[in-house]
Amino acid sequence: MEASRPASADVTQYLGAFRRHWWIALVATGAGLSAGAGLTQAMPKVYESSTSVLVQSVDQDTNAQGGRTKGAVNLDTEAQLVGSGAVAVKAAALLRSGVSPVELARSVSVQVPANTTVLVITFQADKPEAAQYGSHAFAEAYLRNREETARAQLDKQISSLNLKVKQLTGALTGINARLAAAAPGSSTESNLLSLRNNSQNQLNSLTGRLNELTTTMVGGGSIISDARLPERPTSPNTLLNVGTGGMIGLLLGLGLAYLRERFDRRLVTAADVRDRGRVPVLAALDDRSTPHFDDVVQPYGPGGRVFNRLRNEVLASLRDGDQIIVVTGTSRGSASTLVAANLAAALARTGSDVVLIGAHLPDSVVDAAPLARMLGVSAVPGLSDLLAGRVSLVHALQRTPRIPSLRVITTGGAATAAGLMQSQRLKDTLASLRRQSGYVVIEAPSTSSSADAQSLASLADAAILAVELRRSTRPALLDAGEQLQRVGTRLLGAVVMPRLAPVRPSDVVAPAVTLAPHAAEEHTQRLQFAGSPRQRPAEGVTDETAVIEKITSADGDEK
């Protein structure tokens, strides 16, 4: 069988993976929400308070070229001055909190509203009162620093003008003394008069400027909106932290769900069998249509419709001359028993002669009971007794009471059957059954439990895999396909079903079976010949094949 390339995953497969592992995303989301709430509780609370300061220009202000405002004040420069060391020292002195100016400067921030001469000074602290006092202190410190700077510049100008006035006054005194000693009408008198007039004009101008500076009121700005006591902390933001934690947890959960789906070796859906296992799906059973061990499914029920479709697909896939179909499972369990029994029943309902062989050899009679219970036949004798030489083929064949065209060879009751699946007697038995005109369905053990499934498949024309979801694994499915490929058996596909509940011994003990009169007589005849496989039930019959043909023709007459 040539493995087909798996189809690429689409959105529905990813959504299906997340739906199957929803609990991982739920747990991760809950953990993220808890982590966000815990982080909110662990983070220190931060309160903010803001003070708005109107900045007024002073004589020494000069705006840089390209500033955001056209006035004399450059607010970008003033915003930097708020957090300077000089202002921080004054704010620390006003607060008297013992905190260093450097730490205080780290807690202050300044914003400049567009097209205004206003500075919004914001201070952060761990207490509402500290935030309010800190914002007001920095506003006061900034205004004082600005006022002191402006006053220092003004005092410097006044000092310079006083010195110039003193120099001019002394020069005028000397000019007046020289003018008194000069001869009237002389050129010296004329020069001294001109020099005195110039000096007097300069002195008058400087005196006027000095009078203006000494009467100037210095003010760098004012507080237009004082700091208020904050009612709630600005950090941490509970809603933001919890929402972020939940979102991170959800994304992490989705990632974990995808990784679990990606690296989980179990087959969870029919799409996994088709895409990951590279095996076509012939039928997919759900919880409603999955048969039980009490009986074969009704032909018109949910399970019956599924197996009728399976029968049609199997018949369409068989080639001319194909008669023997082996049904094996990819994991230990009873999946192959359910599929083989119901497929054989569906084939027999068409009127074809069908033989169902239970080749899943048991360790005890209890293990053999499910197949006998489903079809209403006796658990013994069976295939293990036939291969062990205790009974002949004709004695092992049992006709089901409800479906006359279906004959069963149960697994039997031999305690040990090691190596019997490779015996020549089994090959001869299948060769004898092949000479009939009907079909043979073999219920084989799983490919993961022993090599018996591969041995049986080598004698069959086609094979079907029974896959239990959430129990079968992808490596086991690939190995089953490889085993069938190595013996040259064509794999028709897989029948997918939910994981079956374990069968308890109390549930599978076969009840007493009431057979039809002709079936009871035939069964009694088998038991009579059970002790001597070589005895013949009718005269003129020389081998087991003739016995089978005679019984088959007799059954045909009955039908």
Residues 153-182: tens digit of each pLDDT: 888 888 998 999 888 888 888 888 888 888
Residue 135: pLDDT over 90? yes
pLDDT of 543 reads 43
DSSP per-residue codes, 274-310: IIIS---EEEE--TTT---SSSPPPTTSHHHHHHHHH
Residue 7: pLDDT over 70? no
Instruction: Name residue 354's beta-bridge partners.
Output: 406, 439
Q: For residue 33, what pLDDT band results from cuts at 50, 70 and 90?
A: very high
Of the given ranges (277-281, 303-307, 531-535), which has the lowest mean pLDDT? Answer: 531-535
Q: How much is the pTM?
A: 0.56
pLDDT of 522 reads 47
Residue 529: pLDDT over 60? no
Place of tokens 């068409």: 350
pLDDT of 29 reads 93
State the average pLDDT for the chain. 80
| Per-residue tokens: 330 | 């990819």
Round to whole Å and give the CA distance between 138 and 95: 9
Residue 518: pLDDT over 60? no
Identify which has the larger pLDDT, 104 or 387: 104
Task: Return the SS3 of 508.
Answer: helix
pLDDT of 517 reads 41
Round to whole Å and give the CA distance between 284 and 101: 76
pLDDT of 122 reads 95
Does 101 sit behind a cis peptide bond, omega within 30 degrees of 0 on the bond before it? no
| Per-residue tokens: 332 | 């230990």
Round to whole Å and give the CA distance between 396 and 526: 7
Residue 403 makes CB contacts below 8 A (sequence gap 6+) with 345, 348, 349
Identify which has the larger pLDDT, 481 or 275: 481
pLDDT of 19 reads 75
Radius of gyration, alpha carbons of the chain: 52
Q: Where are the alpha helices (DSSP H) in 73-127?
A: 75-82, 85-95, 101-106
Residue 555: pLDDT over 70? no
Instruction: Name residue 14's beta-bridge partners.
Output: none
pLDDT of 301 reads 74
Maximum distance among all alpha carbons in the chain?
186
pLDDT of 512 reads 37
| Start-to-end Cα distance in the chain | 40
Residue 495 makes CB contacts below 8 A (sequence gap 6+) with 281, 282, 283, 284, 285, 310, 335, 339, 464, 465, 466, 467
Conformation bin of residue 387: beta by default, left when phi > 0, alpha when psi is -120 to 50? alpha
Of the ranges 123-132, 269-278, 533-542, the best mean pLDDT one: 123-132
The number of residues in the chain equals 559
Residue 219 makes CB contacts below 8 A (sequence gap 6+) with 56, 58, 147
State phi, psi for 103 to the nearest 5 degrees: -65, -35
Residue 390: pLDDT over 80? yes
> Per-residue pLDDT tens for 397-431?
888 888 889 999 888 765 445 566 777 888 888 88
Residue 77 makes CB contacts below 8 A (sequence gap 6+) with 64
> Per-residue pLDDT tens for 223-250?
999 999 999 988 888 899 999 999 999 9
Does 517 sit behind a cis peptide bond, omega within 30 degrees of 0 on the bond before it? no
Q: For residue 9, what pLDDT band results from cuts at 50, 70 and 90?
A: low
> Per-residue pLDDT tens for 35-44?
999 998 888 9
Contact criterion met (CB below 8 Å) for 334 and 500? yes
Round to whole Å and give the CA distance between 19 and 32: 19
Place of tokens 């009986």: 295
Angle, vertex CA 315, rays to CA 311 and CA 316, nearest 5: 115
> Per-residue pLDDT tens for 339-360?
999 999 999 988 889 999 988 7
**What share of the chain has pLDDT > 70, as a percent?**
79
Strands 281-284 and 398-399, by their bridges, are unpaired
When pLDDT is averaged across residues 496-512 and rounded to a whole number, the result is 60
pLDDT of 61 reads 54
Residue 499: pLDDT over 70? yes
How many Cβ atoms are within 10 Å of 389's Cβ, its own excluded?
Answer: 12
pLDDT of 294 reads 61
Instruction: Name residue 493's beta-bridge partners.
Output: 464
Residue 304: pLDDT over 80? yes
Residue 540: pLDDT over 60? no
Residue 536: pLDDT over 80? no
The amino acid present at 60, given as its one-letter code, is Q
**What share of the chain has pLDDT > 90, as a percent?**
30
Q: Where are the alpha helices (DSSP H) in 487-543?
A: 505-508, 517-529
Nearest to 390 by CA among 260, 495, 252, 533: 533
> Per-residue pLDDT tens for 333-342?
888 888 999 9
State phi, psi for 360 to the nearest 5 degrees: -85, 85
Round to whole Å and give the CA distance between 177 and 171: 10
Round to whole Å and give the CA distance between 345 and 311: 9
Contact criterion met (CB below 8 Å) for 465 and 493? yes
Residue 206: pLDDT over 70? yes
Task: Return the SS3 of 229.
Answer: coil
Contact criterion met (CB below 8 Å) for 5 and 275? no
| Per-residue tokens: 366 | 């209890």
Contact criterion met (CB below 8 Å) for 328 and 453? yes
Residue 513: pLDDT over 50? no
> Per-residue pLDDT tens for 453-493?
898 999 999 999 999 998 888 889 999 999 999 999 999 99
Contact criterion met (CB below 8 Å) for 545 and 413? no
